[in-house]
Amino acid sequence: MKIGIVCYPTFGGSGVVATELGKALADKGHQVHFITYSQPARLDFFSENLYYHEVSVSKYPLFDFPPYELALASKLVDVVRFEKLDILHVHYAIPHASAAFMAKQILATYGIQIPFITTLHGTDITLVGKDMTYKPVVTFSINQSDGVTAVSEDLKRATFEHFDIENEIRVIPNFIDLSRFSLKSKDHFKKAIAPNNERIVVHTSNFRKVKRASDVIRIFKKISEEVPSKLLMVGDGQDRVNCEQLSRELGISDYVRFLGKQDAVEEILSIADLFLMPSESESFGLAALEAMACQVPVISTDAGGLPELNVNGVTGFMSGIGDVGDMAKNAIFILEDDARLAGFKENALARAREFELSTILPKYEEYYQEVVQRS
Ligand code: GMT
């Protein structure tokens, strides 16, 4: 098939899922066209089946807010017409679904019928989308989509709860490429971080408020009082400075390292013993799946779709949002005993295998066929 993928090209979860999906589809022989405002972070190589079309937004003094959605819709019209695409797949509803709807209407005036699928990722529903600033447009464009997917049952439930949705929503969970995310031998790196064989705890996120990254620091403070350990904080965002400040105030800054944005997250996860995800909201928790694939157990909250991934007492533990004490207690339980830790690591990998790319990819391919046939 000839598939157009629209996404945010950044390190965020929805962009990563869209890019990895497009790469995998291209590997299977589909022709995949990425349409976005800059080269997606993980699309930095050449493949004969992969195309990239940049949306450029022209600046004009009148525009305090350059109209990206219009530029995207115009680019979609152009790419669909001239590359003869079969389907558009947009990731993250805002503003991609409404831009796809607009493009579809314009293309109809040229006699071209193209269906589009919207994949809901999380904050496009649970945070930004349900705000009245965008809600009418998000509701309309979900209902006008020819197919809608959500990355977890919980996100599907939340979508029906917050919006008047008449469309069906198909749940297709996120996936992991185990050929990339797997335990790598990084002993030299481990020795440098933990020269006295301390346990290594990792958190990766965009440090937005919903991630509650300062809870990571508080949990780690309690862990470090019981188990010799180090904390690696990967990523960057608005809460990072608060976390740095908090780790100084709590007197643990010698044991905490902030690594900033990293491409090879799997190398860091390969030396980790535990992953912390104390999020207030998480539609799926892709970062936790990446950790599990590298044999890292997960201490998380029970927010959103996390119970569909993290199996309590098996692959890690879940606690209520903000329950730092319980998360620390569970973390210590896992870390204090070698054999117990090894068991959790094994279980984490076994669970990650259930989300392997080769299992999930056909679900998207089948859905594309279904949507094209009925449109
Ligand atoms: O987590 C973020 O803030 C980024 C966001 C995104 O859309 O880029 O992630 C969302 O989509 C990911 C991929 O489907 C999910 O794994 C994350 O759980 C989800 N984040 C939230 O719901 C907060």
What does the H/E/C string look like for 160-184?
HHHCCCCCCCEECCCCECCCCCCCC
DSSP strand pairing (316-319 vs 147-150): unpaired
pLDDT above 70 for 234: yes
Q: What percent of the chain has pLDDT over 70?
A: 100
Asked if residues 241 and 323 have their Cβ atoms less than 8 Å apart, the reply is: no
On whether both 212 and 257 belong to a single domain, the answer is yes
**Alpha-helix runs per DSSP H in the chain:** 13-27, 68-83, 93-108, 123-126, 135-144, 153-162, 187-193, 213-226, 240-249, 265-269, 286-293, 324-335, 338-353, 357-374
Distance CA 50, CA 62 (A): 36
On whether both 153 and 293 belong to a single domain, the answer is no
> Who wins on pLDDT, 78 or 47?
78
Q: Is residue 181 one of the residues assigned to a domain?
A: no
Any idea what DSSP says for residue 14? Answer: H
**What's the distance, Cα to Cα, between the start and end of the chain in Å?**
15
260: nearest Cα among 281, 276, 244, 277: 244
Exposed, middle or buried: residue 226 (CB in 10 Å: 0-12, 13-18, 19+)?
middle
Average pLDDT rounded to a whole number, residues 143-170: 97
Give the dihedral sign, CA 307/281/123/256.
negative
Any idea what DSSP says for residue 308? Answer: G
pLDDT digits (tens, 9 = 90+) for 324-367: 999 999 999 999 999 999 999 999 999 999 999 999 999 999 99
* pTM (two decimals): 0.95
Report the atom number in ligand 1 closest to the C-alpha of 151: 14
On whether both 230 and 342 belong to a single domain, the answer is yes
The pLDDT assigned to 129 comes to: 78
The pLDDT assigned to 348 comes to: 98
ipTM over 0.90: yes
pLDDT above 80 for 11: no
Q: What percent of the chain has pLDDT over 90?
A: 91
Q: Is residue 180 one of the residues assigned to a domain?
A: no
**CB of 286 sitting under 6 A from ligand 1:** yes
**CB of 282 sitting under 6 A from ligand 1:** yes
On whether both 30 and 130 belong to a single domain, the answer is yes
Calculate how far, in angstroms, residue 27's C-alpha sits from the geometric centre of ligand 1. Answer: 25
On whether both 20 and 83 belong to a single domain, the answer is yes
The pLDDT assigned to 83 comes to: 98
Calculate how far, in angstroms, residue 72's C-alpha sits from the geometric centre of ligand 1. Answer: 22
pLDDT digits (tens, 9 = 90+) for 111-152: 999 999 999 999 888 888 788 999 999 999 999 999 999 999
Average pLDDT rounded to a whole number, residues 76-83: 98
**How many structural domains are present in the chain?**
2
**CB of 152 sitting under 6 A from ligand 1:** no
The CATH number of the domain where 117 resides is what? 3.40.50.2000
**CB of 19 sitting under 6 A from ligand 1:** no
**CB of 96 sitting under 6 A from ligand 1:** no
pLDDT digits (tens, 9 = 90+) for 265-307: 999 999 999 999 999 999 999 999 999 999 999 999 999 999 9
**CB of 284 sitting under 6 A from ligand 1:** yes
On whether both 223 and 169 belong to a single domain, the answer is no
255: nearest Cα among 274, 278, 233: 233
On whether both 285 and 233 belong to a single domain, the answer is yes
On whether both 167 and 205 belong to a single domain, the answer is no
Report the atom number in ligand 1 closest to the C-alpha of 119: 14
Average pLDDT rounded to a whole number, residues 24-48: 91
Packing angle, helices 324-335 and 213-226, rounded to 10: 50
Of 6, 175, 283, the one to substitute when testing ligand 1's pocket (max ligand atoms within 8 A of C-beta) is: 283
pLDDT above 80 for 42: no
Q: Is residue 182 one of the residues assigned to a domain?
A: no
Report the atom number in ligand 1 closest to the C-alpha of 211: 23
Phi, psi of 299 (to 5 degrees): -105, 115
- Point out the least confidently predicted range of 85-94, 186-195, 301-310: 186-195
On whether both 22 and 107 belong to a single domain, the answer is yes
The pLDDT assigned to 14 comes to: 93
Average pLDDT rounded to a whole number, residues 308-320: 98
Q: Is residue 209 one of the residues assigned to a domain?
A: yes
**CB of 368 sitting under 6 A from ligand 1:** no
Structure tokens at 210: 């919903």
On whether both 348 and 366 belong to a single domain, the answer is no
Report the atom number in ligand 1 closest to the C-alpha of 12: 8
Structure tokens at 109: 């005036």
On whether both 366 and 340 belong to a single domain, the answer is no
Report the atom number in ligand 1 closest to the C-alpha of 124: 7
Report the atom number in ligand 1 closest to the C-alpha of 92: 7
Asked if residues 220 and 229 have their Cβ atoms less than 8 Å apart, the reply is: yes
**CB of 303 sitting under 6 A from ligand 1:** no
The domain in which residue 112 lies consists of: 2-175+356-374
Distance CA 4, CA 112 (A): 15
Calculate how far, in angstroms, residue 247's C-alpha sits from the geometric centre of ligand 1. Answer: 26
Integer-rounded Cα radius of gyration of the chain: 21
On whether both 137 and 200 belong to a single domain, the answer is no
